């Protein structure tokens, strides 16, 4: 009789433990499921804030707002906020100390709750009206930067496309360039063309200073693309470049940087 009573007692205790554990799990699982959403919303808010930065750069560039005074227009009620899905981003530009030339982008998911902020200092330095343009499906195609080889290796040309993404025309008047020659022979640039028009036809050495076009300037209207052709003279029959970077300057002294070989392994053949 005593052993049976003890068995019943242990059984009751075991059942109570199982009920308690079941209750705890039934409480914790829904709580855990609810808490999982917070890091997800935080990540979404971060990417919304990042989208706000990209939006501000593109919007300001297209509008031609390239100075601090004009960038204040980003704070306009019709410009500064955009809704995306269940969230939104809000951008604020300030040029008041201590936040000179600074863009703030705040992401919220859902709107008005979870917030992540991205701060971009020296914001105007990210605005470029002229960009490298690659569109293989366009007519004519705009392929990635490449190296054109004439028959017999008489000369080579680095070719790439650029686009004026702004709302106003710009005029280029000078350039400079750096590269690592392959092989060691280091030929100069002897011609710079835009489309089929020559703008420079003298001799430019690797890493030289800013050099003005000696034929004429090049104007690029808003929304248009044009091919740039950099010709190198007196080349051996087998040649390529590593880390070729071309810098173009407009008449307002803005510099546009085109890194044609970001992988540092030479340009592919056109």
Q: What is the pLDDT of residue 183?
A: 57
Residue 16 within any structural domain of the chain = no
CATH number at residue 171: 2.60.40
pLDDT at 64: 76
Give 74's DSSP letter: G
Indicate if 167 and 92 belong to the same structural domain: no
Residues 206 and 156 in one domain: yes
Q: Do 157 and 54 fall within a single domain?
A: no
10-residue mean pLDDT series, the chain (270 residues): 64 77 66 61 89 90 81 94 90 93 93 83 84 86 87 76 88 94 73 95 93 96 93 69 90 90 86
Question: Are 195 and 100 contained in the same domain?
Answer: no
Q: Which of 126, 141, 174 is the last residue of a domain?
A: 126
Res 4: pLDDT: 58
Please tell me the total count of domains within the chain.
Answer: 2
- Find out whether 107 and 44 touch, Cβ atoms under 8 Å: yes
Q: Where are the beta strands (DSSP E) in the chain?
A: 81-84, 87-96, 99-109, 114-121, 130-132, 146-149, 156-164, 170-182, 189-194, 197-200, 211-212, 218-220, 225-232, 240-250, 255-259
d(CA 164, CA 139): 17
- What whole-number distance in Å separates Cα of residue 166 and Cα of residue 129? 5
Q: 268 in a domain, yes or no?
A: no
- Domain range for 60 is 38-126
Buried b or exposed e, range 116-150, using 16+ CB within 10 angstroms: bebebeebbeebbbbbbbeeeeeeeebbebebebe
- The DSSP secondary structure of 102-164, one letter per residue, reads EEEEEEEETTTTEEEEEEEESGGGG--SEEE--BTTSSS-BPPPEEEE-GGGS-EEEEEEEEE
Quote the pTM value.
Answer: 0.65
Are 46 and 153 contained in the same domain?
Answer: no
pLDDT at residue number 24: 67
pLDDT at residue 238, rounded to an integer:
61
pLDDT the model gives residue 74: 95
Given 126, 159, 194, the domain boundary residue is 126
Residues 113 and 134 in one domain: no
Long-range CB contacts (within 8 A, 24+) of 210-213? 210/174, 210/175, 210/176, 210/247, 210/249, 211/174, 211/175, 211/176, 212/173, 212/174, 213/172, 213/173, 213/174, 213/175
pLDDT at res. 202: 94
Q: Kindly state whether residues 166 and 47 are assigned to the same domain.
A: no
State whether residue 182 is helix, strand or coil: strand
28 is a domain residue? no
Last residue of one domain, picked from the residues 126, 150, 168: 126
């Amino acid at each position: 009789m005593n052993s049976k009573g003890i068995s019943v007692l242990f059984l009751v205790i075991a059942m109570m433990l199982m009920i308690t554990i079941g209750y705890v799990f039934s409480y914790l699982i829904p709580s855990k499921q609810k808490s999982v959403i917070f890091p997800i919303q935080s990540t979404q808010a971060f990417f919304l804030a990042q989208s706000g930065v990209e939006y501000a750069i593109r919007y300001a560039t297209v509008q031609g707002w390239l100075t601090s005074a004009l960038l204040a227009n980003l704070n306009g009620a019709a410009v500064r906020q955009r809704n995306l899905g269940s969230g939104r981003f809000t951008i604020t530009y300030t040029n008041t100390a201590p936040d000179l030339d600074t863009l703030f982008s705040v992401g919220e998911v859902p709107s008005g709750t979870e917030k992540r902020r991205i701060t971009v200092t020296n914001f105007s330095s990210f605005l470029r009206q002229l960009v490298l343009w690659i569109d293989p499906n366009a007519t004519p195609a705009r392929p990635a930067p490449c190296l054109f080889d004439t028959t017999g290796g008489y000369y080579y040309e680095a070719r790439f496309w650029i686009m004026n993404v702004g709302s106003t025309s710009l005029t280029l008047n000078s350039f400079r360039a750096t590269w690592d020659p392959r092989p060691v022979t280091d030929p100069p640039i002897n011609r710079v063309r835009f489309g089929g028009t020559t703008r420079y036809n003298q001799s430019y050495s690797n890493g030289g200073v800013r050099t003005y076009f000696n034929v004429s300037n090049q104007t690029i209207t808003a929304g248009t693309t044009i091919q740039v052709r950099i010709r190198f003279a007196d080349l051996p029959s087998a040649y390529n470049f590593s880390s070729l970077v071309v810098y173009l300057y407009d008449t307002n002294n803005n510099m546009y940087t085109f890194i044609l070989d970001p992988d540092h392994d030479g340009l592919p053949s056109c």
